[in-house]
Structure 1
């Protein structure tokens, strides 16, 4: 029986993934790849919607690929590839842009969010059409499910709308994908500002746990995490966001439910609590860091894996693109 198809991707926008990426994406993908025919893309075409240093971008792509593999994505089972190595992504994005309304694209909230500070004059056309490229990414692989955060749900809905519109206008061509929204527990917050999602763009590096941090540095950041003055270890997002965040992190690292962790830490102080959370995170991430560095020490083998998987991806994507072009009268 053919497995349903999964597609997801992540931008090579920093030298290291952070703990939020690991829990919110990689852990989920590692599990899902057993049940799906999975395509995981390093979306470097999306990355260049913001200014990039070419050499840094190349290094970040390779480093991200190493972290995918070290985090449990099996490049023999799943198709792990670099987006720009499959030319059909850009080609299908152009076809889809011709059936996307300007007003429709203008309503995408992420574009509004990203231009809120600098204004639209500071943004590129590429950033504006980002969701159309994302639709192409998804539709190229006859995707059934797209695991995303709730901030990307609108883009998957646009993808579904474009697939339906194309099919009605040109004949049955694309499969309509469904979003799989990550569980609320998958959202990890900044250690120093637990009201904000952990993000590479945070002002204070002390609140971010990077996968490639030294283990001692990781432990120090967690032991320095903001809590509160109450002293009890229980989940309460409103009154105790810092403690709640740490409980969520430990639950993700150990597989123990938050209620069971609350019972385990009952009557104990924050010092003991933070130390145990730090130990759990280091135990999980240290082998990932070590394996990443091993992979990066042999860049030729990493490049070989990515090239082989790009060929696998292109075989599927090119067939879809050809189908779409023929439907539109371009072949």
Structure 2
């Protein structure tokens, strides 16, 4: 192998399969905004709409959800001029490279993907082939841009490891040093935002009660109400994180405060240790409204101007294709295709 160097390039995406929550904001979008500010990175962010159809999507819902994700990114601070922002289906290189990499990936690797097992459950014979094979498309999303860094939640780390396996096998099989060994970037106190009613469960857009989650389109009054009514326990906040080990709801709210304030969870306890929930929850609600209400307001403005969103994504797709198409063309050449 040669000692080829790759530019520091970030790729990540969100699937448009329903309303966005605070978990998407703290676990992904806010971190992307921070990476956009780092001059050492080129940043590429994608609405991965082709992943959404691994399960049935109503066409009108997919259209709406795609624009909602793009609006959330823009409203949160992703600048379409400084970062490349687009929706996946506009760049055919994703699907084309996805097929090529499907022929590099091994069935045994796919069988180890825990997310397929979680989503398919006992119904594996009736789910779509796409739900089984989509990790190869996810690898293509990343490798089409020679992305070196992928900010992900802990539950997505396995997919980046698969991407590395596919890249390594491709490089080995063809005797090249073409695809980089992408690094997952996992950091931040609120990487895994939990349910406001049950701290043992991840915050989800599909939960039974709307009070379990903060939706990115919630207005200021709703955000405040949900945090003030969030489940807690009778004890005051401790001064050290060890004191939250067996207190999942308390730990979740402290982590959310830390994520919104841009500080460590321990620093939050340094400020609020010994305080009761009558003090902390109103402070958290005030902070959340300060940070999130302007985002939801701008999202609503953008969603009322869908042509503006579509034009921004179309321009982003042109820029994305300019990066991906030469990489795809070289992949075809390496593999021996006559084009």
Could you tell me the TM-score, scaled by structure 1's length? 0.94
Alignment partners' CA distance in 2, 1:278 and 1:141: 40
Aligned residues of 1:111 and 1:128 also touching (Cα < 8 A):
yes
**For 1:122, what is the secondary structure of its paired residue?**
coil
**For 2:184, what is the secondary structure of its paired residue?**
strand
**For 1:81, what is the secondary structure of its paired residue?**
strand
Alignment-derived partner of residue 14 in structure 2: 10
Alignment partners' CA distance in 1, 2:172 and 2:191: 37
Deviation at 1:163, TM superposition (A): 1.0
Q: CA RMSD in A?
A: 1.6
Alignment-derived partner of residue 253 in structure 2: 246
What are the Cα deviations for residues 48-80 of structure 1, in whole angstroms up to 9, with x where unaligned? 001100011011101110110000111000000
Aligned residues of 1:24 and 1:182 also touching (Cα < 8 A):
no
1:264-275 matches, within 5 Å, as: 264-275=271-282
Alignment partners' CA distance in 2, 1:69 and 1:94: 31
Gaps of 5+ in 2: 1-5
1:1-331 matches, within 5 Å, as: 4-15=8-19, 17-35=20-38, 36-116=41-121, 118-172=122-176, 173-232=178-237, 235=241, 236-331=243-338
Deviation at 1:266, TM superposition (A): 4.1
The more displaced of 306-315 and 290-299 is 290-299
Shift of the 280–323 alpha-carbon distance from structure 1 to 2, 3 Å rule, reads: same
Could you tell me the TM-score, scaled by structure 2's length? 0.92
Gaps of 5+ in 1: none
**For 2:125, what is the secondary structure of its paired residue?**
helix
What are the Cα deviations for residues 2-61 of structure 1, in whole angstroms up to 9, with x where unaligned? 95111001101113x211111111111001012210110100000000110001101110
Alignment partners' CA distance in 1, 2:268 and 2:328: 50
